[in-house]
Chain A
């Protein structure tokens, strides 16, 4: 590295995380520690039926018996599960009926994050938002408008109260409580999240979005999202996330389950920008998330798109179980790591039905001393006649102290299946940078251009307004990473 690069790297370290502020609000926080009492407390706070409490307790008992995984490509830091508070909610009236009842401090927090919760301020019905602050959903917009078409979009807690039959039928049906250690933990202590149901034949009239915000100290966020698209339905859903800058690591262990019935389509996009920690790797969110969808019916489709720029450690593999014949699963990912960030992410495509198709496009970008891994599984079951998979994994390195790794696993048990795999690793070349700066372009902007060009195939999958956001985010995240 030349001295010029070093200077730039120093600048990069000083680059502020834009969303690092904290909100000062009176909170109801559960005492630290994890036990059956903790679970009972959460369940009682949420006024849950007995069956759900039992479901949680079963998950907890399972969690207590499980060992931490050891197969990952990074050293998993010791997490003291007794040192975390599992419930934190802003003190407020028990039930919010209108925006006037939402604490103005919370409204201004989301306003600051660029998430207006006032429907009047949103341009004619572009996006409906569920805003989750620590452990609870504070506001879901456009509910009435969506209801006209039979679309249910509400917090998970409300769904448990108002649509228990749907929750009971589908909760844990894609990600069982016993799936992995963090899914088990989430199943035991999940506090809120979003619930979506799109009825038969309905094309959801607007983008649905959940915005997750961690605010309180020493807490974890364990949200649960459940999206059901009934026969012939369509929905596009986006989640965004940010957290304040804190010196301690915070745990985020979410579970997302998607269910697409016959001829239904779910498009799930994530722009993940949790606090990544400082330049020395101090603080930041551990983002250990289980996301999975099932194409239950024939001709159904589930598409995951993710832009991952935040978190100290990201560990997630959004997958699709392709059960219905002719169903389609897609995974488009851009994962950017810098400083000491670690990302181990990819997908699982499980082909069970006949003529099922999956497509995986993964674009890793590593800068600083970060490490970025793609880990993916493509599994073709014996009954998956004529199935196809296409996988493309590209890695882009910025500087010479970072790492990119690829772990593609393939299990094929049907001879008629076709699998293709392509992988490339490239470095942002001095010649590419010089070419752009020679045309008068600032070096940082030049890197932004190159990276956005590289990630274009994935960014193109995002809904328009979010694609613009994601492009900016990538450029901001890279500021100063190259000389």
Chain B
């Protein structure tokens, strides 16, 4: 589904990603781990098309289509979803209205008419239950006055509503207590299917106890330096990121 070849990207002319390769197939969950500053969030933002991130080399294909050619909104319409690490507040814009607009735009891109109000509300209700999202929050202004946990849960609710092909969770676990983490993870697990894929960006192994990945990659200095299965995450947890830094340093020395 997603193919990343030799991706280089810079922020304010400082190169952050330095030749990243990744292949994600439908039905898979990939975890991206790494120490602070390794380029984890940059990867999410570059895939979603944030303007301040400049791709200097490489290619990204989504089902064979050149993703880097597309505007952020068209990437979203093609099925790329970024669950933000820090979701913003948009006062006065109701959550539901926002979702209705987003869903209609995505459907229009696919040549589908907007959902009938009744069908839309039915879908809202179903998805709210699926990801245990409080109906009261759905009717409030978008993230306005939400707690950190509520904002993260709203990201998962949006994910459920928009049904993307590829979802990137950018440190969705950060700032969550154990109960919220469990709810968020269970939401994601309900949404996993053979047709979609997830990239789970996280600093800690904790989230991966709840969302079990098919593959784990370690990002360090803008490159994937280790790939493995879920056991790699446990090994990292045990040995710490210094282990990566040392081994990668040693490899480079040779």
A residues apposed to B, CB below 8 Å: 2, 4, 429-432, 434-443, 445, 449-450, 452-457
Contacts and interface: CB of A to CB of B under 8 A. Distances in A.
B162 interface: yes
Interface in B199-225: none
A449 B93 contact: yes
Interface string B77-90: 10001101001101
B92 A441 contact: no
A440 B92 contact: no
In order of increasing CB-CB distance, the 10 nearest A-B pairs are A453-B92, A453-B93, A440-B76, A456-B92, A439-B102, A437-B72, A440-B106, A437-B73, A440-B105, A440-B77
B142 to A, nearest CB: 8
A432 B52 CA distance: 14
Contact of B91 (A430, A436, A440, A454): A454
A440 B71 contact: no
Contacts of A434: 48, 50-51, 72
B243 interface: no
A452 B93 contact: yes
Interface string B107-127: 001000000000000000000
Contacts of B76: 437-441
Contacts of B139: none
B41 to A, nearest CB: 13
Nearest to A431: B88
- The prevalent SS among residues of A at the interface is helix
Contact of A453 (B81, B102, B141): B141
Nearest to A442: B73
A432 B90 contact: yes
Given A445-B105, A452-B93, A455-B92, A439 B98 contact: yes
B51 A435 contact: no
Contacts of B189: none
Nearest to B143: A435
A472 B158 CA distance: 26
A403 B162 CA distance: 38
11 contacts: A434-B48, A435-B87, A437-B71, A437-B76, A440-B73, A441-B102, A443-B73, A450-B93, A452-B92, A452-B93, A453-B142
Nearest to B79: A440
Contacts of A450: 90, 93
A440 B70 CA distance: 12
A439 B98 CA distance: 9
Most buried by B among A430, A449, A454, A457: A449
A453 B90 contact: yes
A245 B91 CA distance: 35
B101 interface: yes
Contacts of B103: 440
Given A438-B82, A439-B98, A450-B93, A429 B88 contact: yes
Residue of B76, B87, B109, B141 with highest tally of chain A CB at under 10 A: B76
A430 B90 CA distance: 12
A440 B102 contact: yes
Nearest to B144: A453
A437 B51 CA distance: 11
Contacts of B88: 429, 431-432, 435
Contacts of A436: 90, 98, 102
A443 B101 CA distance: 12
Contact of A440 (B51, B109, B141): B109
A431 B49 CA distance: 12
Nearest to A445: B101
Contacts of B71: 437
B81 to A, nearest CB: 8
In this complex, the member of B50, B90, B103 whose beta carbon has the largest number of chain A beta carbons within 10 angstroms is B90
Nearest to A439: B102
B72 A438 contact: yes
A467 B87 CA distance: 29
Contacts of B92: 452-457
Contacts of A439: 76, 81, 98-99, 102, 158, 162
Contacts of A431: 88
Given A434-B50, A435-B84, A453-B92, 14 more contacts: A2-B51, A430-B52, A435-B87, A436-B90, A436-B102, A438-B48, A439-B76, A439-B81, A439-B102, A439-B158, A439-B162, A440-B77, A445-B101, A449-B98
B104 to A, nearest CB: 9
Contact of B105 (A432, A442, A453): A442
B98 to A, nearest CB: 7
Most B-side CB within 10 Å, residue of A432, A438, A440, A442: A440
Given A434-B51, A434-B72, A453-B141, A440 B87 contact: no
Nearest to A446: B73
| Highest count of chain B CB atoms <10 Å: which of A432, A437, A457 | A437
A430 B87 contact: no
Contacts of B142: 453
